[in-house]
Amino acid sequence: MGQVATNGLAYYVPVEGGHVATVIQESEAQIRFPELIDRVLGGEDIVIARDEGVRMMLVPVGKRPRKPGRLRGQFTIPDSFFDPMTDEELAERGL
């Protein structure tokens, strides 16, 4: 993970899906933990670091808010996907 920006208390790194996570030092996270919980539940990615090394990521349990376009560019759907199924394909599926 490479550092991409900083504001003195936290820095930001790219994470899976092409978005950015906020990285906060452990000492700051201990002070602001209730706020961090609210931010994570709101869909933000929060990473906690110790001694300049990333140590953990806070993630909610259960369903996270959707992030439209999160998988954009990671796969393509061929045009043939929308073609009607053949009689053989239908029979294979018991339809």
Among 17, 20, 13, 19, smallest CA distance to 55 is for 13
CATH code at 37?
A: 3.40.1620.10
Q: How confident is the model at residue 88 (pLDDT cuts 50, 70, 90)?
A: very high
- Write the burial class of residue 31 (CB in 10 Å: 0-12 exposed, 13-18 middle, 19+ buried): exposed
Instruction: Look over the chain and give the mean of its residue pLDDT values, rounded to a whole number.
Output: 79
Asked whether residue 35 carries a pLDDT value surpassing 90, the answer given is yes
Which pLDDT band, with edges at 50, 70 and 90, does 84 fall under? very high
pLDDT higher at 18 or 5 = 18
Domain that holds residue 51: 5-92
Render pLDDT for 46-81 as a digit per residue (tens, 0 to 9).
Answer: 888 887 677 788 888 876 666 777 778 888 888 888
User: How many domains, the chain?
Assistant: 1
